Amino acid sequence: MRFAGVVLLVLMLIFCCSDKNQSSIDISKVIVDFSVMRFEIDFYSATQKTLPKVKLKYPYLFPEAFSDSISFSKIGDAQEQKLFSETQKVFKDFSETESQLTSLFKHIKYYNPTFQAPNVVTLQTNIDYDSKVIYADSLLFISLDVYLGKDHEFYDDFPKYIKENNTKEHLIVDVAEAISGTQIPLSNNRTFIGKMIHEGKKIALLDWYLPAVSEKEKMGYAQEKLDWAVENEGQIWAFFIEEQLLFSTETNLNKRFLENAPFSKFYKEQDGLSPGKIGVWIGWKIVQSYLKHNKVSLQEFLKLDETIIFNNSKYKPKK
Q: What's the pLDDT band for 1 if we cut at 50, 70, 90? A: very low
Q: Do 274 and 166 share a structural domain?
A: no
For the segment 286-303, the average pLDDT, to the nearest whole number, is 95
Expressed as residue numbers, the domain containing 74 is 4-180
Count of beta carbons in the 10 Å neighbourhood of residue 250? 11
54-78 pLDDT, tens digit each: 999 999 999 888 899 999 999 999 9
DSSP SS3 for 47? coil
Amino acid at 139: L
Instruction: Give residue 21's pLDDT.
Output: 43
Q: What's the pLDDT band for 10 if we cut at 50, 70, 90? A: very low
Instruction: Give residue 166's pLDDT.
Output: 97
Number of domains present in the structure of the chain: 2
Q: Do 151 and 210 share a structural domain?
A: no
Q: Do 286 and 226 share a structural domain?
A: yes
**CB contact at 8 A, 141 and 11:** no
Q: Do 204 and 147 share a structural domain?
A: no
Instruction: Give residue 137's pLDDT.
Output: 78
Say how many CA atoms lie within 13 Å of 142 toward its Cβ.
Answer: 31
For residue 86, give the nearest of 35, 172, 145, 10 by alpha carbon: 145
Q: Do 128 and 15 share a structural domain?
A: yes
Instruction: Give residue 64's pLDDT.
Output: 86
Which H or E run includes 153? Answer: none
Domain assignment present for 262: yes
Higher pLDDT: 151 or 11? It is 151
281: left (phi over 0), alpha (psi -120 to 50) or beta: alpha
Q: Do 64 and 128 share a structural domain?
A: yes
104-142 pLDDT, tens digit each: 999 999 999 999 999 999 999 999 988 899 999 799 999
Q: Do 138 and 230 share a structural domain?
A: no
Q: Do 127 and 24 share a structural domain?
A: yes
Interhelix angle 192-209/171-180, rounded to 10 degrees, is 120
Q: What is the pTM of this model?
A: 0.90
Q: Do 303 and 250 share a structural domain?
A: yes
Q: What is the mean pLDDT of the chain?
A: 92
Instruction: Give residue 272's pLDDT.
Output: 96
**CB contact at 8 A, 245 and 265:** no
Domain end: 146, 180, 214, which one?
A: 180
Higher pLDDT: 86 or 11? It is 86
